[in-house]
Amino acid sequence: MEEEKKVEFRNPLRRNELDPNRWRSTQAGMWAWLWQRISALAIIVLLAIHVTLPYRPLIQFLLLLNVVFHVTLGLRVILLDFGLVNVKYQKALIGGLAALGVVIFVLVWNGIY
Amino acid sequence: MASHAPKSRIIKVFRYDPAAGGPGHFDRFELKTDDESLTTILDVLIRLQKTQDPSLAFRYACRVSMCGSCGMVINGREALACKTILADLKGDEVTIRPLNHFPVVKDLVVDMEPFFRKYEEGLTYFHAARELSEPALIRPDSRERQVIESSTECIACGCCVSSCTMANWHKDYLGPAALNRVFTLLADSRDGLHEERLARSLGSCYHCRTELNCTEVCPKEISATRAIKYIQMLAAKEAMKPGSTIRSDQRDTLRQGVPKLIPPQSTAPAALTPEPEDLLPAVPSPALASRREFLSRTTLGIAAITIAFLGSVLAATALAPTLRKRPETWVDVGKAEDFPAGSVKTAQISYPVKDGFYESTVNKPVFVSHQANPDQFTVFNSRCTHLGCMLRWDDGKNLFICDCHGGQFKPDGVVKAGPPPRNMDRYLTMVKDGHLFVQEA
């Protein structure tokens, strides 16, 4: 019993380590979080292009679409953060708010052009 | 409906041998089952151990999803092996690996020590606020109990911590399981350690990024996200209270290592409600700025930079036009000989003006008088000094007359009658090469 052999633990596994199924099993909530970060980066890039090349409908369209996407995901998190919507409706919020955002976007876009 | 026919599957199981070390690898097994809809992953593992590899290590106890021992990652998703039905898994292959974020002891067995260390850091035990001879009950239909919902059902399997990406990136994050437990106690009115517990979770409850992975994978269908949101709201309300003394001591706790907690059960019945300080480890005064201090300083800093930036831009736009030196513009009125002595004549002047990007040409009449001062030309602005109407020279009356309100000026521009408050405005004049010029400001 006195023989003390140090057991070598393996370092904790990380999320994607050695696991081909991980991304296939990624759920809506995490995609929403991830895509909001990606859209934030896209907005920075598109905003820079928009400022240097103003009045280009294609760039404006992409920028506004990205902003709508980013805003709807952000509103969803705000609604969940302040307990205004129960967490169990989180998936419905992604689609619902995105659809609402796109409808408003199309109306505004048609109003401008 | 899942088919009930016998089926063969490839089962890939993560193997790690502590004697050999290394990163570990996957072993492939082929297993035929009679009815997949009646077979759990735990059944699969037991059968593999009995029939194919007796050295396969995994942990289980109750087999009915009560004990939380058999949490593992099955096809990329955390689940209890005993609760996962083989028929529910798509594809021919099943990949089984140990939970993330915990040291691997052997094969699918992980060391849960970090899990329970976080559990202790959150003071996740009940401590009665008042000494009572009978148990204090919270009615099942009361609002208080309804808020807590099923959060008390946690079996500490560690699936949520494994699924949480933030648990990996923030070492001081208590994680979903511990915060869920903290929430059940924070929402409990009988609890006596409310403030201490809130202080412990303040520093880490905002590490949650609302990915909801923990909510998705929980085998007991508890939403740790909901629990963390509750704590965040409590923390926000606490921050807005004017005299709040609750401060995050998470960092200090971490620096001190695991607090030595005295479980309430071990105290004598007579001392059922000792001062909370007796139970808590001494927390030294923070040497580092706490998270809240850091955030308020950063916010103030950003606000100051924004105000300074906007203020300088506004100040520059307001002051620049007054500081800029405008070039003197001399405008040609005409040949000097065209304005004989003793006459008052109207002349049109025209000159370009540039205002920002906008360029235009100004055309306006001026009065040239060679009468008031025989040696010099006097050029008057053609606008009445009352309300700016256009004046006209009346040769018969020998006066400048404004038709709007009857203002009258003498030939030297002095007010004779009517409402004008001051004499006519004059231009600076210059005669050069026989031409008369006026200066346009």
The string of pLDDT tens digits covering residues B178-234 is 999 999 999 988 888 888 888 888 878 889 999 999 999 999 999 999 999 999 999
Q: By C-alpha distance, which of B85, B89, B71 is closest to B40?
A: B85
Residue range A47-61: average pLDDT? 87
Q: Is residue B123 within 8 Å of residue B200, measured between CB atoms? A: yes
Nearest-by-Cβ selection for B229 from A17, A22, A83:
A83
B320 and B388 share a domain? no
pLDDT at B275: 47
DSSP B408: E
pLDDT at B372: 57
How far apart are the CA of A25 and the nearest CA of chain B, in angstroms?
A: 6
User: Does B134 fall in a domain?
Assistant: no
Domain of residue B344, residue span? 329-440
B259 and B119 share a domain? yes
Rounded to an integer, what distance in angstroms lies between the CA atom of residue A73 and that of residue A71? Answer: 5
Q: Is B221 left (phi over 0), alpha (psi -120 to 50) or beta?
A: left
User: Does B238 fall in a domain?
Assistant: yes
Pairing of strands B93-97, B344-355: unpaired
Rounded to an integer, what distance in angstroms lies between the CA atom of residue A111 and that of residue A107? Answer: 6
**Structure token pair of residue A75:** 């509103």
User: Does B367 fall in a domain?
Assistant: yes
pLDDT range class, residue B267, cuts 50, 70, 90: very low
A87 and B101: CB-CB below 8 Å? Answer: no
Q: Is B284 left (phi over 0), alpha (psi -120 to 50) or beta?
A: beta
B166 and B281 share a domain? yes
B155 and B282 share a domain? yes
Q: Is residue B377 within 8 Å of residue B370, measured between CB atoms? A: yes
pLDDT at B278: 47
Q: Is the whole-model pTM more than 0.90? A: no
User: Does B133 fall in a domain?
Assistant: no
pLDDT at A3: 59
B215 and A13: CB-CB below 8 Å? Answer: no
Cβ-Cβ contacts under 8 Å, B100 against chain A: 12-15, 17
pLDDT range class, residue B274, cuts 50, 70, 90: very low
Q: By C-alpha distance, which of B10, B70, B25, B66 is closest to B46?
A: B70
List, in order, residues 6 or more apart from B320 with CB less than 8 Å away.
none
pLDDT at B256: 47
* pLDDT of B240 higher than 90: no
| Higher per-residue pLDDT: B419 or B270 | B419
Provide the 3-class DSSP secondary structure of residue A71.
Answer: helix
What total number of domains does chain B contain? 4
User: Does B199 fall in a domain?
Assistant: yes
A14 and B168: CB-CB below 8 Å? Answer: yes
- Four-point Cα dihedral B115, B121, B124, B128, nearest 10: 160
| Higher per-residue pLDDT: A112 or B13 | B13
Q: Is residue B370 within 8 Å of residue B341, measured between CB atoms? A: yes
Whole-number CA gyration radius for chain A: 22
Q: How confident is the model over B4-21, as pLDDT tens digits?
A: 788 899 999 999 999 888
User: Of B288, B304, B339, which residue sits at a domain end?
Assistant: B288
pLDDT at B359: 81
B360 exposure class (CB count in 10 Å sphere: 0-12, 13-18, 19+):
exposed
B122 and B194 share a domain? yes
B303 and B345 share a domain? no
**φ, ψ for residue B247 (rounded to 5)?**
-130, 150
Angle between helices A57-81 and A28-52 (to 10 degrees): 140
B336 and B301 share a domain? no
Provide the 3-class DSSP secondary structure of residue B298.
Answer: helix
Residue with structure tokens 């926000």?
A: B236
**Structure token pair of residue B78:** 């955390």
Q: By C-alpha distance, which of A73, A93, A82 is closest to A33?
A: A73
B212 and B310 share a domain? no
pLDDT at B282: 45
Q: By C-alpha distance, which of B423, B309, B434, B299 is closest to B367?
A: B423
B101 and B189 share a domain? no
How far apart are the CA of B26 and the nearest CA of chain A, in angstroms?
A: 9
B66 and B148 share a domain? no
A80 and B104: CB-CB below 8 Å? Answer: no
ipTM of the complex: 0.86
B97 and A18: CB-CB below 8 Å? Answer: yes
* pLDDT of B260 higher than 60: no
User: Does B307 fall in a domain?
Assistant: yes
Q: Any idea what the CATH number is for the domain that residue B421 is in?
A: 2.102.10.10
Q: Any idea what the CATH number is for the domain that residue B276 is in?
A: 1.10.1060.10
**Structure token pair of residue B376:** 């010099």
Q: How confident is the model over A77-97, as pLDDT tens digits?
A: 999 988 899 888 999 999 999
User: Does B244 fall in a domain?
Assistant: yes
Residue range B40-68: average pLDDT? 95
Q: How confident is the model over B376-427, as pLDDT tens digits?
A: 788 888 888 988 888 888 888 888 998 889 889 988 888 888 888 888 888 8
Q: Which of B211-220, B262-271, B296-305 has the lowest mean pLDDT?
A: B262-271
B307 and B402 share a domain? no
Cβ-Cβ contacts under 8 Å, A29 against chain B: 210-213, 215-216
User: Does B92 fall in a domain?
Assistant: yes
Cβ-Cβ contacts under 8 Å, B216 against chain A: 27, 29
B162 and B259 share a domain? yes
Nearest-by-Cβ selection for A27 from B210, B216, B229:
B216
Q: By C-alpha distance, which of B100, B192, B195, B400 is closest to A21?
A: B100
pLDDT range class, residue A25, cuts 50, 70, 90: confident
Residue with structure tokens 């009517």?
A: B418
User: Of B272, B303, B324, which residue sits at a domain end?
Assistant: B324
Average pLDDT, chain B: 84
Q: Any idea what the CATH number is for the domain that residue B52 is in?
A: 3.10.20.30
**Structure token pair of residue A105:** 């976007």
DSSP B124: -
pLDDT at B264: 47
Rounded to an integer, what distance in angstroms lies between the CA atom of residue B393 and that of residue B382? Answer: 9
